[in-house]
Structure 1
Amino acid sequence: MAVSEDDLLVVDSIDTYYGESHILFDLSLSVGRGDIVALVGRNGAGKTTTLRSIMGLTPPAAGTVTLGGTDITGFEPHETRKEGISWIPEGRRVFGGLTVEENLRLAAHSGADDQSERFEEIYQRFPRLDERRGQKAGTMSGGEQQMLAIARSLLGPDTDVLLLDEPSEGLAPQIVEDVADIIRELNEEGVTILLVEQNANMALELSDHAYVLENGNIVHESPASALLEDREAMESYLGVK
């Protein structure tokens, strides 16, 4: 695939398997520095597998993943995180039995430097979390847990690329808007984002560029705004009328 010098994350011709099952087929995509890129598609298309392949949780059997020109194909997840990629998985996966503060301190502990200043910045960004420092994460609402998951991803090593998997899942419409605002703010502050989202309208409204994944193959690529305006393509690829 053609690679621009502005591309920060490049996935080039990867094939990924779960056991004997071939999930991703010669998949290529790129994320420009400072962009939000949407990866959309129907359930089971391979979107989460793409993120897992990038993160090193399900390493590709062929092809390459590069970050800022560095080949990180097959890196262990903790090595990928140190390189600057952070992943917020579907379903948040916060430590429900730990408090908000304990969840954040675990993430902060993974950084090599003193994180105290960034720790307080997190509470300033997420005042709801500040109010709930001592509350068990598992007792919070889905929206609050999503905020905690995002906050946790910003601690530890510096984040250059954020992989977001279904951040609006299970959230009330107003909370979805709040999460979208957080994503915009992070991007405006320089975080590059690859967004997997079943809510195609939300994802495309947020994004600069879009890829549509179908049965492990990229079947469409365009500016996000162009796909959003193409109602025939939206219905054909995504079932959105």
Structure 2
Amino acid sequence: MAAVSETPAADRASTAEELLAVDSIHTYYGQSHILFDLSLSIDRGEIVALVGRNGAGKTTTLRSVLGLTPPAEGTIAKDGEPIDGLEPYEIRKRGISWVPEERRVFGGLTVEENLRLAASTGEGDQSDGFEDVYERFPRLDERRSQKAGTMSGGEQQMLAIARALLGPETDVLLLDEPSEGLAPQIVDDVADIVRELNEEEGVTILLVEQNAEMALELADHAYVLENGRIVHDSPAAELLADREAMEGYLGVK
């Protein structure tokens, strides 16, 4: 099995600009210690995959970055500026957006109403953003007046991603289990959306995903989380090719 990198993630050598740095954080739920001395870094323009078994602490890592479950120790910085200690709405204004697990769209509202709620968190006229969203997601354009709760899981995932891109400009998109509960063909469609956002729009992405093979095929770099600790840190392609590590860490044969 591949060994964990001996170099701290925050010091990972790169020719690119470091955009997000998580350094030695410890996060708790009440008295329960969930994340232990966790460090990772993301360079501008990268897709970074955070993979691991259920209960490893992947969602807690995203919640720590977002300020929803602030770390008790350690630091988090974007563009070299500390963001730990800020309120979630302040972190959103700094360009970090989130697509939560299970999508969490407002089922009783139409597609357009869901998008207008997201756009209302920004400043100024958001109409141009709406047209960009409908151009990128033509299915949502077709469903403008449809209640979100009546759409398929794949359509709801498109809506959740589109919603996250409205409001303040997004530099870093945190994606939590975007393939969960979707049919294989729809998973491929969501993967294409993630790839296009990164390659065409330049959005930096931290991807938490139970479907490890999909995540690693998309990602530039990968971290494996196990019991709240980073146990593997390498280029994504290197981990994907290491079948012993894939089975040992992730149960993928």
Q: Same fold (TM over 0.5)?
A: yes
Distance across 2 between alignment mates of 1:174 and 1:2:
38
SS of the equivalent of 2:166 reads coil
Using the TM superposition, give the Cα deviation of residue 118 of structure 1 relative to its aligned residue in structure 2, in angstroms.
1.1
Partner of residue 176, structure 2: 165
Q: Secondary structure at the match of 2:213?
A: helix
Aligned to 1:175: 186
Where does 1:207-222 land on structure 2 (aligned, <5 Å)? 207-222=219-234
Cα deviation digits, residues 52-107 of structure 1 (max 9, x gap): 00000000000000001110002111111000000011000000010000000011
| 2:31 partner amino acid | E
**5+ long unaligned stretches in structure 1:** none
* SS of structure 2 residue aligned to 1:31: strand
Match of 1:2 in 2: 11
Match of 1:114 in 2: 125
User: In structure 1, how many angstroms separate the alpha carbons of the residues matched to 2:76 and 2:195?
Assistant: 25
Deviation readout 1:2-55 (Å, 9 max, x if unpaired):
266611000000000000000000000001100000000000000000000000
**1:196 matches 2:205:** no
Query: Matched residue pairs, number?
Result: 241
Q: How far apart, in 1, do the equivalents of 2:81 and 2:145 lie?
A: 40
Q: CA deviation at 1:113?
A: 2.2
Q: For 2:11 and 2:128, how far apart are their aligned partners in 1?
A: 40
Q: Deviations over 1:149-198 (max 9, x none)?
A: 00000100000000000000000011000000000010012100000000
1:50 to 2:86 alignment: no
Does 1:151 find its partner at 2:153?
no
**In structure 2, how many angstroms separate the alpha carbons of the residues matched to 1:6 and 1:239?**
33
* Structure 1 range deviating more: 195-204 or 107-116: 107-116
Secondary structure in 2 matching 1:148: helix
CA distance, structure 1, for counterparts of residue 180 and residue 210 of structure 2:
8
Identity across matched positions, percent: 79
Which moves more between the two structures, 52-61 or 104-113?
A: 104-113
Question: Which amino acid letter does the alignment assign opposite residue 203 of structure 1?
Answer: A
**Counterpart residue type for residue 16 of structure 1:** T
**1:63 corresponds to 2:74:** yes
1:216-239 CA-to-partner distances (Å, cap 9, x unmatched) read 000000000000000000000000
CA distance in 1, matches of 2:196, 2:79: 22
Query: What amino acid is the match of 2:213?
Result: N
Tell me how far apart the structure 2 counterparts of residues 23 and 113 of structure 1 sit (CA, whole Å): 39
Deviating runs (4+, > 4 A) in structure 1? none
Q: Does 1:235 align with 2:247?
A: yes
RMSD: 0.9
Q: Deviations over 1:118-174 (max 9, x none)?
A: 111101111110111001000100000000000000100000000000000000011
Other structure's SS at 1:240 match: coil
One-letter amino acid of the counterpart of residue 212, structure 2: A
Name the TM-score, length of structure 1 as normaliser: 0.99
In structure 2, what is the Cα distance between the partners aligned to 1:113 and 1:36? 30
Q: Flag structure 2 segments of 5+ consecutive residues without an equivalent.
A: 1-9
In structure 1, what is the Cα distance between the partners aligned to 2:202 and 2:73? Answer: 31
CA distance in 2, matches of 1:226, 1:176: 23
